Amino acid sequence: MSKKSNHVNSNSADLDSKTSVIIVENLVKRYKELIALDHFNLDIKEGEIFGLLGPNGSGKTTTINCILALLKYDKGTIKVLGKEMKPDSYDLKRNIGVVMQNVAVFDELTVYENIDYFCGLYIKDKSTKKQYVEDAINFVDLDKFRKFYPKKLSGGLLRRLNIACGIVHKPKLIFMDEPTVAVDPQSRNNILEGIVKLNEQGATIVYTSHYMEEVEQICTRISIMDKGKNITIGSAPELKKMIKNTETISIELLDIPEAVLEKIKNINHIYKTEYIDNTLKLYFSGGRHNLINVLDLLKKEDLHFGQVYSQLPTLNDVFLELTGKELRD
Amino acid sequence: MQTFKTYFRISKKYLQGFFIYVPIFFVIMMLMVNQQTEKTETKFSTSSIKISIFDHDHSTLSKSLADYLGEHHKLIDIKEDMDTIRDEIYQRNIDYILVIPEGYENYINACAQSPSAENTDSFTNDANTTDDRMLVTYKIPNSRFAAFADSQINKYMKIYSTYISAGADREEAATKTISTMSEETTVTIQASEKEAISYVHIFYTYMTYILISVVTLCISPILILFNENKIKSRLNVSSVSPLKINLQLALASLIYTFGITLLFILTSFVLFKDEMVFDKTILRIANAAVYALICLSLTFLLATCLAKQNMLSAIVNLIGLGQSFICGVFVDRALMSKVVLAFGRVFPAYWYVNIEEELNKYKHITDFTDSSRHTVIYGFIIEILFAVILFMIGLVINKNKKN
């Protein structure tokens, strides 16, 4: 993942000069009384790994289904690769790959036959198709398993087959809907590396997940969604700058006198303190050397403490501050 | 034609329905054919047995009787002593031995001319009589050949006695008896109802059950796979229109269904080629083809309604067995109540069997009565309607599911 940082740290301002691959304006989708998407807007640029982050039911999959014309929507416009997306936009679909959340392959076909079938839905020329299938098998490193049936594959290998089926026709735009659900950490890392590699090969990727670490790790820009709305968009550092919290320090303490707690509250940049289950949590907004200042004070008061942690804000903190609830609620 | 090719690749994994039902069907058919060739008697012929005659009378009657028996049976010379006779009978070398006692002709003539004297109904000694003047016979106990010879000799003697009592002289009576005995009777075997059954008819009737089971169990699982939401979503985002994919699936299913049907039809030609009458066979094939379409429509409907394959086998067995019992596939319609048969009308097999029954009644289509013709045409129309209605229901459910 050495090149990952280049993606994540790419300047958002640079993106303005790039072509828009997906433009969603004022998208409204209702399921009877429930509003799934509420005047949703999106502008995804060429070459991005764009993350859609939000809790279950926030509208991520509905957004993708509307963009892919799998769902009819009530209001708004969607343009993909410069053209309006319709169910019969088959020329557009030729340039789009989709990796479904659920593994969508035929158990009755081998790894090779599955990839070959889904490739054949896009590529007519036999020799090109053969080459593309081989490329996809090598890309997901399933060469040893080409004659295996899906039921014989582990969860991680199955996910890789699912990805291969979605990207075998070398699309310009790839949608990945939670491709790492129920995958072991090692396989997850392989999949994330593969996604970055696809992006380096020129594909624009729309990535949905409720795993904020993954999104933070690979996405150039992130849209945080809740209740069908786009709460904010930006790179991970930009999003983190939006919130008050810059650091959280946790200290294990058997007991803390009230007087000492008052002194701690007066340390610069602390805006909130909590003492729960023998752990003192201190929330800082800005400032430097916060940990040293806290430890100096505890030493001066002759208080013995156990383990000490310092945590930088996560996207969950961003989400918590913006919506008042946890991402994984 | 990517989907078309993949359909047949997947179909190899769902052949268990074929391999379960088809061998059972063919084994039953082979057994039926064997029974037909081994047991059914269609010709009559008189039997010839091995017989020895010891003539101690040397009269006109004894000679003419020996000549008559020699003409119809194989005469074998053996030594006339009790040990030899017993050995030959015991070893089954001879079926019947006849001893004509000295003075037999005189005795018979006297009996015939004087009705009040002796009983002339029996001419041979049996187990209970030892009359020296009567014919003596040695035979294999309970042998049908011996019974046949007894019957022939008694008949001969009765006719001879009748001519003598009517006033004929010995020569004339002997000549006329042989002449009368030589008159052959034409024997026509009246085939029993069971023997009259056509095995082609049984084959094509029983095919109703096999065809619906095999077609639905082989094809529905493939269509269910392509109907699964996750696969359907992937197909919907591809650059091939759903219409093209569905057309390929429909074409593959049609070819598969008619392939299975053709296999059964060809088998009927192999097994019953002598019994196949051209004009009836054409109608039988048409009936099977239309019924195959019904099976395909039902397959489409089941694949649309069922999200998973686990219920499929149970439903197919219920429909297949149910309609086979109600519509007269497994049970002769003559044995079924009118109420059951009336209920059977709501199943396609009823109309298929209706046509088949009508075809079985006549040797050629040209022999059809107006009523038969009407039954066949009406049956075809109802069958086509079944195919269309089942398909339409499937389409409506499919559309509702999409919405």
Query: Average pLDDT over chain B, rounded to whole?
Result: 84
Identify whether residues B161 and B285 lie together within a single domain: no
For A69, nearest residue in chain B (alpha carbons): B237
Looking at residue B173, its amino acid is: A
Q: Is A66 exposed, middle or buried (0-12, 13-18, 19+ CB in 10 A)?
A: buried
Is B371 within the bounds of a domain?
yes
Q: Is B13 on the interface with A (CB under 8 A)?
A: yes
In tens, the pLDDT along B222-235 reads 999 998 888 988 89
CA distance A4 to B173: 127
Q: Is A113 on the interface with B (CB under 8 A)?
A: yes
Nearest CA in chain A to B5: A117
- What element of type H or E holds B327? none
Question: Residue B182 corresponds to which amino acid?
Answer: S
Residue of chain B with shortest Cα separation from A64: B237
**Burial class, B161, CB count within 10 angstroms (exposed 0-12 / middle 13-18 / buried 19+):** buried
Chain A: nearest CA to B15, how far in angstroms?
12
- Residue B227 belongs to a domain: yes
**Which of A89, A106, A163 is the best mutation test for B, with the most CBs of B within 10 A?**
A106
Q: Which two tokens stand for residue B362?
A: 């006549």
Q: Which among B182, B202, B234 is the end of a domain?
A: B182
Spatial separation of the C-alpha atoms in residues A325 and A318, rounded to whole Å? 10
Judged by a CB distance cut-off of 8 A, whether residue B2 touches chain A is yes
Residues 6+ apart with CB under 8 A from B297: B386, B387, B388, B389, B390, B391, B394
* A206: confidence class by pLDDT, cuts 50, 70, 90: very high
**Among A187-191, B33-37, B286-290, whose mean pLDDT is lowest?**
B33-37
Provide mean pLDDT across the span B309-331. 88
A118 touches chain B (CB under 8 A): yes
Residue B44 lies in a domain: no
Contact B233 A121 (CB under 8 A): no
B238 in contact with chain A, both atoms CB, cutoff 8 A: yes
Give the pLDDT band of residue B194 (cuts 50, 70, 90). Answer: very low
Tokens of A61: 């999959």
Residue of A65, A94, A108, A109 to mutate when probing chain B, most B C-beta within 10 A: A108
- Beta-carbon pairs below 8 A across chains A and B: 58
Contact (CB<8Å) A91/B233: no
Cβ neighbours around B236 below 10 Å, total: 18
Counting the structural domains of chain B, the total is: 2
Domain check: are B217 and B353 in the same one? yes
Residue B238 with chain A: CB contacts under 8 Å? 93, 118, 121-122
Closest alpha carbon to B181 in B64, B76, B59: B64
Residues of chain B contacting residue A87, judged by C-beta atoms under 8 Å apart:
236
For residue B135, the tally of other CB atoms under 10 A from its CB is 22
B23 and B157: one domain?
Answer: no
Q: B356, B201 in Cβ contact below 8 A?
A: yes
One domain for residues B80 and B210 = no
Q: Which of B88, B95, B70, B74 is nearest to B148 (CA)?
A: B95
Stretch B142-160: mean pLDDT? 85
Asked whether residue B121 is assigned to any structural domain, the reply reads: yes
Q: How far is CA A86 from CA A72, A73, A90, in A?
A: 9, 11, 9
Residue with tokens 């997940």, as numbered in its chain = A209
Closest CA to A282 of A297, A267, A296: A267
pLDDT-derived band at A120, boundaries 50, 70, 90: very high
Q: Nearest-CA neighbor of A168 among A117, A104, A110? A: A117
Please indicate, yes or no, whether residues B78 and B148 belong to a single structural domain of this protein.
yes
User: Are B231 and A94 a contacting pair at CB < 8 A?
Assistant: no
pLDDT at A136 over 50: yes
B68 and B120 housed in the same domain: yes
Judge whether A91 is closer than 8 Å to chain B, CB to CB.
Answer: yes
Q: Do B237 and A103 touch (CB under 8 A)?
A: no
Distance in Å, alpha carbon of B311 to nearest chain A alpha carbon:
19
Say yes or no to pLDDT of B8 above 90.
Answer: yes
- Percent of chain B surpassing pLDDT 70: 89
What does the alpha-carbon distance between residue B101 and residue B52 come to, in Å, rounded to a whole number? 14
Q: In this predicted model, what pLDDT tens digit does every residue of A84-107 receive, in sequence order?
A: 988 888 889 999 999 988 899 999
In 3D space, the residue among A64, A43, A29 whose CA is nearest the CA of residue A233 turns out to be A43
Neighbours of B15 (CB within 10 A): 13
Q: Say yes or no to pLDDT of A141 above 90.
A: no
Cβ-proximal residues to A65 (8 Å cutoff; 6+ apart), any chain:
A71
Contact A85, A92 (CB under 8 A): yes
On whether both B160 and B65 belong to a single domain, the answer is: yes
C-alpha pair distances (Å), A62 with each of A40, A41, A67, A221 = 11, 13, 9, 19
On whether any CB of chain A is under 8 Å from the CB of B236, the answer is yes
Given a cut of 90, whether residue B361 has pLDDT beyond it is no
> What are the chain A neighbours of B225 within 8 Å (beta carbons)?
106, 108
Which of B3, B9, B238 is the closest to A122 by Cβ?
A: B238
- CA distances (Å), A254 to each of A234, A279, A280, B299, in order? 41, 8, 10, 71
> At B159, which CATH number?
3.40.1710
Contact residues on chain B for A122, CB-CB shorter than 8 A: 238-239
d(CA B323, CA B382): 16
Name the token pair of B21.
């039902």
CA distance A254 to chain B (A): 54
Residue linked to tokens 């679909």: A93
Q: What are φ and ψ of residue B345, in 5° steps?
A: -60, -25
Instruction: Report the residue from A88, A96, A103 with minimal CB separation from B237.
Output: A96
Q: Is B188 within the bounds of a domain? A: no
B272, B358: one domain:
yes
The domain boundary residue, chosen from B162, B182, B202: B182
Residue B22 in tokens: 């088809």
At residue B260, the pLDDT reads: 93
Q: Are residues B27 and B136 in the same domain?
A: no
The two tokens of residue B49 are 């047995």
Task: Provide, as residue numbers in chain B, all residues whose Cβ is less than 8 Å from the Cβ of A102.
Answer: 230
- Asked if residue B118 has pLDDT above 60, the reply is no
> In Å, how far are A54, A144, A270, B33 from B360, measured between CA atoms?
71, 60, 99, 17
Is B116 found in the same domain as B16? no
Identify whether residues B291 and B362 lie together within a single domain: yes
Shortest alpha-carbon distance between residue A65 and chain B (Å)? 9
**ipTM of this complex prediction, to 2 decimal places:** 0.79
Cβ–Cβ < 8 Å for B256, B14: no
Among A96, A98, A108, beta carbon nearest to B10: A108
Closest-CA residue of A relative to B14 is: A108
User: How many whole angstroms separate alpha carbon B6 and alpha carbon B13?
Assistant: 12
CA Rg value for chain A? 24
What is the Cβ-side half-sphere exposure of residue A326, based on CA atoms within 13 angstroms? 3
Q: Encode pLDDT of A248-286 as tens digits.
A: 899 998 888 888 888 888 888 898 899 998 999 998 887
- Sign of the CA dihedral B73, B79, B85, B89? negative
Composition of chain B by helix, strand, coil, percent to 5: 70, 5, 25
Q: Is B239 an 8 Å CB contact of chain A?
A: yes
How close, in Å, is residue B352 to chain A by CA atoms?
35
Per the CB < 8 A criterion, the answer to whether A286 and A280 are in contact is no
Answer yes or no: is B43 within a domain: no
Question: For residue A31, what are the β-bridge partners?
Answer: A34
Please give, rounded to a whole number of angstroms, the shortest distance from the CA of A273 to a CA of chain B: 48
Is residue B105 situated within a structural domain? yes
Instruction: State whether A113 and B9 contact (CB < 8 Å).
Output: yes
H/E stretch holding B165 reads helix B144-165
Q: What is the pLDDT of residue A7?
A: 44
Q: Give the whole-angstrom CA distance, residue B248 versus residue B2.
A: 8
> Does residue B233 belong to the interface with chain A, where contact is any CB pair within 8 Å?
yes
Average pLDDT over chain A reads 86
Quote the tokens at residue B150.
Answer: 């007894």
Q: Which residues of B93-106 are buried (b: 16+ CB within 10 A; e: fewer)?
A: ebbbbbbbbeebbe
- In this complex, do A108 and B241 lie within 8 Å of one another by their Cβ atoms? no
Which tokens go with B68? 């008559």
Residue A80 has pLDDT above 70, yes or no: yes
pLDDT digits (tens, 9 = 90+) for A5-54: 344 444 555 666 778 899 999 999 998 888 999 999 999 999 999 998 88
- Alpha carbons A31 and B195: distance in angstroms, whole number: 69
pLDDT for residue A8: 44
Check whether A59 has a pLDDT greater than 60: yes
User: In this structure, are B13 and B158 located in the same domain?
Assistant: no
Query: Which residues 202-231 on chain B approach chain A with CB closer than 8 angstroms?
Result: 225, 230-231
A171-180 core/surface letters (b: 16 or more CB in 10 A; e: else) = bebbbbbbbb
Chain B nearest CA to A173, separation (Å): 12
Work out the minimum CA distance from A68 to partner chain B, whole angstroms: 7
CA gap B214, B15 in Å, rounded = 9
pLDDT mean over A209-221: 86
Q: What confidence score (pLDDT) does residue A4 get? A: 42
DSSP B253-285: HHHHHHHHHHHHHHHHHHHSTTT--HHHHHHHH
- Whether the CB of B10 is below 8 Å from some CB of chain A: the reply is yes
**A90 and B225 in contact by Cβ < 8 A?**
no
Kindly report, residue by residue over B46-86, the tens digit of the pLDDT: 667 889 999 888 888 889 888 888 888 888 888 888 888 88
- Supply the range of the domain harboring residue B55: 50-182
Average pLDDT over residues A65-74: 90
A100 interfacial to chain B (CB closer than 8 Å)? yes
For chain B, the straight-line distance linking the first and the last C-alpha, in angstroms and rounded, comes to: 28
Per-residue pLDDT at B15: 87
For residues B296 and B260, give the distance between their C-alpha atoms in angstroms, rounded to a whole number: 11
Contact B239 A117 (CB under 8 A): no
Rounded to 5°, the CA angle B236-B241-B242 comes to: 60
Please identify, among B128, B153, B182, the residue that sits at the C-terminal boundary of a domain. B182
Please give the domain boundaries of chain A with CATH numbers for all domains: 4-241 (3.40.50.300), 247-312 (3.30.70.100)
* B35 and A CB contact within 8 Å: no
**pLDDT confidence of residue B265:** 92
pLDDT value at position B186? 63
Contact: B9, A103; criterion CB under 8 Å: no
Give Cα B355 to chain centroid, integer Å. Answer: 20
Residue B42 lies in a domain: no
Q: What is the pLDDT of residue B367?
A: 80
pLDDT above 90 (res B390) = yes
Among B96, B107, B109, B76, CA closest to B153? B96
CB atoms B237 and A68 under 8 Å: yes
Q: How many residues does chain B have?
A: 403
